[in-house]
Amino acid sequence: MIEASKSSGKSGIIRYGMIGGGEGAFIGDVHRKAIGLDGKAVLTAGCFSRNYENTLATGEALHLDSERLYKTYTEMAKAEGAREDGIDFVSIATPNNTHYEIAKTFLENGINVVCDKPLTTKSEEADTLTKLAAQKDLLFCVTYTYTGYPAVKHAREMVRRGDIGEIRFVNAEYPQEWLSEPVEKDPNNKQAAWRTDPKQSGIANCTGDIGSHIENLASYITGLEIESLSARLDKVVEGRVLDDNATIMVNYKGGAKGLYWASQIAIGHDNDLKIRVYGSKGAISWKQEDPNYLKVTTLDKPAQTLSRGRDAMYPRPTAVIRTPSGHPEGYFEAFATVYTTFINALAKKKAGGKLTEDDLDFPAPSAGAQGIKFIEKCVESSEKGSAWIKF
Amino acid sequence: MIEASKSSGKSGIIRYGMIGGGEGAFIGDVHRKAIGLDGKAVLTAGCFSRNYENTLATGEALHLDSERLYKTYTEMAKAEGAREDGIDFVSIATPNNTHYEIAKTFLENGINVVCDKPLTTKSEEADTLTKLAAQKDLLFCVTYTYTGYPAVKHAREMVRRGDIGEIRFVNAEYPQEWLSEPVEKDPNNKQAAWRTDPKQSGIANCTGDIGSHIENLASYITGLEIESLSARLDKVVEGRVLDDNATIMVNYKGGAKGLYWASQIAIGHDNDLKIRVYGSKGAISWKQEDPNYLKVTTLDKPAQTLSRGRDAMYPRPTAVIRTPSGHPEGYFEAFATVYTTFINALAKKKAGGKLTEDDLDFPAPSAGAQGIKFIEKCVESSEKGSAWIKF
Amino acid sequence: MIEASKSSGKSGIIRYGMIGGGEGAFIGDVHRKAIGLDGKAVLTAGCFSRNYENTLATGEALHLDSERLYKTYTEMAKAEGAREDGIDFVSIATPNNTHYEIAKTFLENGINVVCDKPLTTKSEEADTLTKLAAQKDLLFCVTYTYTGYPAVKHAREMVRRGDIGEIRFVNAEYPQEWLSEPVEKDPNNKQAAWRTDPKQSGIANCTGDIGSHIENLASYITGLEIESLSARLDKVVEGRVLDDNATIMVNYKGGAKGLYWASQIAIGHDNDLKIRVYGSKGAISWKQEDPNYLKVTTLDKPAQTLSRGRDAMYPRPTAVIRTPSGHPEGYFEAFATVYTTFINALAKKKAGGKLTEDDLDFPAPSAGAQGIKFIEKCVESSEKGSAWIKF
Amino acid sequence: MIEASKSSGKSGIIRYGMIGGGEGAFIGDVHRKAIGLDGKAVLTAGCFSRNYENTLATGEALHLDSERLYKTYTEMAKAEGAREDGIDFVSIATPNNTHYEIAKTFLENGINVVCDKPLTTKSEEADTLTKLAAQKDLLFCVTYTYTGYPAVKHAREMVRRGDIGEIRFVNAEYPQEWLSEPVEKDPNNKQAAWRTDPKQSGIANCTGDIGSHIENLASYITGLEIESLSARLDKVVEGRVLDDNATIMVNYKGGAKGLYWASQIAIGHDNDLKIRVYGSKGAISWKQEDPNYLKVTTLDKPAQTLSRGRDAMYPRPTAVIRTPSGHPEGYFEAFATVYTTFINALAKKKAGGKLTEDDLDFPAPSAGAQGIKFIEKCVESSEKGSAWIKF
Q: Is residue B316 domain-shared with residue B184, that is, in the same domain?
A: yes
- CA A370, A373, A379: angle at the middle one, nearest 5? 145
Q: Which residues of C touch A296 (CB under 8 A)?
A: 302
Q: Which residues of A touch C304 (CB under 8 A)?
A: 301-305
Contact C296 A307 (CB under 8 A): no
Nearest by CB to D330, which of A35, A307, A328? A328
3-state secondary structure of A269: coil
- The range of the structural domain enclosing residue A189 comes to 147-323+365-390
Instruction: Tell me the residue length of chain A.
Output: 391
> Which ipTM did the prediction report?
0.94
Inter-chain CB proximity C270 and B32 less than 8 Å: no
Q: Are D206 and C257 in contact (CB under 8 A)?
A: no
Same domain as D292, residue D213: yes
Domain's final residue, options D98, D120, D138? D138
Length of chain D: 391
Considering only alpha carbons, which residue of chain A is nearest residue B248?
A249
Alpha-carbon span A221 to A215, nearest angstrom: 10
- D268 contacts C297? CB cut-off 8 A: yes
Of the residues A108, A138, A168, which one is the last residue of a structural domain?
A138
Please report, for the domain that includes residue D212, its CATH number.
3.30.360.10
Compute the nearest-CA separation of C282 from chain A (Å). Answer: 15
Nearest CA in chain B to D297: B304
**All residues at 6 or more sequence positions from A40 whose CB lies less than 8 Å from its CB, including other chains:** A14, A339, A340, A343, A344, A347
Mutation target to probe the C interface, by most C beta carbons within 10 A, among D278, D286, D306 is D278
Q: Check CB contact under 8 Å for D63 and A2.
A: yes
**If DSSP codes are grouped into helix, strand and coil, which group holds residue C84?**
coil
> Amino acid identity, residue D38?
D
For residues B192 and B134, membership in a common domain is answered with: no
What DSSP character marks residue D302?
-
Q: Confidence band (pLDDT; 50, 70, 90) for D127?
A: very high
CB contact under 8 A, A326 and D272: yes
Phi-psi region of D284 (alpha: psi -120 to 50; beta: other; left: phi over 0): beta
Closest CA of chain B from D320, distance in Å? 20
Q: Are residues B129 and B169 in the same domain?
A: no
Contacts of D289 in chain C (CB under 8 A): none
Q: Which long-range contacts (CB under 8 A, 24 or more apart) does B354-360 make?
A: B358/B315, B358/B316, B358/B319
CA distance B215 to B207: 10
For the cut 60, the answer to whether the pLDDT of residue A45 exceeds it is: yes
Render pLDDT for A360-390 as a digit per residue (tens, 0 to 9): 999 999 999 999 999 999 999 999 999 999 9
- Show the low-confidence residues of chain C (pLDDT under 70): 1-12
Largest CA distance in chain A: 64
Q: What does the pLDDT look like over A181-225, one tens digit per residue?
A: 999 999 989 889 989 999 888 899 999 999 999 999 999 999 999
Query: Which helix (DSSP H) or strand (DSSP E) does residue A218 occupy?
Result: helix A212-222
Same domain, C192 and C281: yes
Across B78-204, the runs of DSSP E, i.e. the strands, are 89-93, 112-115, 140-142, 167-175
Which of D37, D42, D270 is closest, CB to CB, to A326? D270
CA distance A296 to chain C (A): 9
Asked if A266 lies within 8 A of B247 by C-beta distance, the reply is: no
Same domain, C96 and C18: yes
Beta carbons of C388 and D386 less than 8 Å apart: yes
Residue in chain A closest to D178 (alpha carbons) equals A310
What subunits touch chain A, counting only 3 or more CB pairs under 8 A?
B, C, D
Residues of B in contact with D158 (CB under 8 A): none
Q: Is D303 close to B301, i.e. CB distance below 8 A?
A: no
- The Cα B383–Cα D314 span in angstroms is 57
Question: Residue C220 domain-assigned?
Answer: yes
Q: How far is D166 from chain A (nearest CA, A)?
A: 31
Asked whether residue D242 is domain-assigned, the answer is yes
How far apart, in Å, do the first and last CA atoms of chain A sit?
A: 46
On whether both B131 and B174 belong to a single domain, the answer is no
**CB contact (8 A) between residue A285 and residue B268:** yes
Site from B270, B272, B322, B343 to mutate, C interface, most C CB atoms within 10 angstroms: B270
Which residues of D are less than 8 Å from C181 in CB distance? Answer: 299
Co-location of B245 and B384 in the same domain = yes
Residues B179 and B299 in one domain: yes
Instruction: Identify the band that residue A8 occupies on the pLDDT scale cut at 50, 70 and 90.
Output: very low
Query: Which residues in chain B are contacts of D302 at CB distance < 8 A?
Result: 296, 304-307, 310-311
- d(CA C196, CA C234) in angstroms, rounded, equals 13
Instruction: For residue B162, tell me if it sits in a domain.
Output: yes
Contact C305 A306 (CB under 8 A): no
Average pLDDT over residues D183-198: 91
CB contacts < 8 A, C to D, total 105
- Who among C7, C35, C37 is closest to B63 (CB)? C7
pLDDT the model gives residue C3: 37
* In a domain? residue A329: no
Alpha helix ranges (H) inside chain C: 27-38, 52-61, 73-82, 96-108, 123-136, 150-160, 190-195, 198-201, 206, 212-222, 315-319, 331-350, 365-383
pLDDT of residue C12: 63
Mutate to test the interface with D, among C177, C227, C245, C278 (most CBs of D within 10 A): C278
Contact C221, C250 (CB under 8 A): no
Which of D37, D290, D310 shows the shortest C-beta gap to A37?
A: D37
Which among B169, B276, B279 has CB closest to A245?
B169
Residue C341, in any domain of the structure: no
Residue C274 forms part of a structural domain:
yes
Q: How far is CA D28 from the centre of its chain?
A: 13
Instruction: Mark yes or no for CB contact D268/C295 under 8 Å.
Output: yes
With H, G, I as helix, E, B as strand and everything else as coil, classify residue D164. coil
Q: How far is C3 from chain B, CA to nearest CA, in Å?
A: 5
Residues D186, D274, single domain; the answer is yes
Q: Indicate the pLDDT class of residue A95, thresholds 50, 70 and 90.
A: confident
Please name which of C145, C82, C147, C136 lies closest in space to residue C113, comparing C-alpha atoms.
C136
Tens-place pLDDT, residues A118-156 = 899 899 999 999 999 999 999 999 999 999 999 999 999
pLDDT in tens, B273-286: 999 999 999 999 99
**Nearest residue of D to residue A310, measured between CA atoms:** D270
**Domain CATH number, residue C58:** 3.40.50.720
C42 within a domain of the structure (yes/no): yes
Residues C113 and C225 in one domain: no
Q: Which residue of D has its CA nearest to A291?
A: D328
Q: Decide: C315 and C153 in contact? Cβ < 8 Å.
A: no
- Tell which of A238, A278, A389 to mutate to test the B interface (max B CBs under 10 Å): A278
Q: Is residue A72 part of a domain?
A: yes
Q: Do C303 and A301 touch (CB under 8 A)?
A: no
Q: What is the DSSP letter of A111?
A: -
- The reported pLDDT for the residue numbered B1 is 32
What is the chain B residue with the closest CA to A170? B266
Of D85, D109, D138, which residue is a domain's last? D138
Cβ-Cβ contacts under 8 Å, A317 against chain C:
none
Of how many residues is chain B composed? 391
The residue in chain D having the minimum alpha-carbon distance to the alpha carbon of residue C387 is D387
Query: Distance (Å, rounded) from C-alpha B346 to C-alpha B71?
Result: 27
CA dist B327 and B322 (Å) reads 9
Residue C166 to chain D, least CA–CA distance (Å): 11
Cβ-Cβ contacts under 8 Å, B38 against chain C: 33, 36
Helices (H), D70-211: 73-82, 96-108, 123-136, 150-160, 190-195, 198-201, 206
Confidence at D12, pLDDT banded by 50, 70, 90: low
Closest CA to B302 of D307, A294, A247: D307
Per-residue pLDDT tens digits for A343-364: 999 999 999 999 999 999 999 9
- E-strand ranges in chain B read 14-20, 41-47, 89-93, 112-115, 140-142, 167-175, 226-234, 245-252, 257-263, 274-279, 282-287, 293-298, 303-307, 389-390
* Interchain contact, C305 vs A307, CB within 8 Å: no
How many folded domains does chain A comprise?
2
The residues, any chain, with a CB within 8 Å of residue B131's CB and separated by 6 or more, are none
Same domain, B375 and B260: yes
Angstrom distance (rounded) from CA A76 to CA A87: 10
Instruction: Please report, for chain C, how many H helices and E strands are present, in that order.
Output: 13, 14
What is the average pLDDT across D26-52?
96
CB contact under 8 A, B297 and A267: yes
Kindly identify which residue of chain C lies nearest to residue A304, measuring between CA atoms. C304
pLDDT of residue B12: 62
Asked if A117 and A144 touch (Cβ cutoff 8 Å), the reply is yes
User: Would you state the pLDDT for residue D7?
Assistant: 36
Q: How confident is the model at residue D194 (pLDDT cuts 50, 70, 90)?
A: confident
Q: Tens digit of pLDDT for each residue in D272-302?
A: 999 999 999 999 999 999 999 999 999 999 9
Report residues of chain B scoring pLDDT below 50: 1-11
Minimum-distance CB partner of A386 among B249, B298, B299: B249
**Residues of B at the A interface (Cβ-Cβ below 8 Å)?**
164, 168-169, 171, 173, 177, 180-181, 230, 232, 234, 236, 245, 247, 249, 257, 259, 261, 263, 265-268, 276, 278-283, 285, 295, 297-299, 303, 385-386, 388
Phi, psi of A75 (to 5 degrees): -55, -45
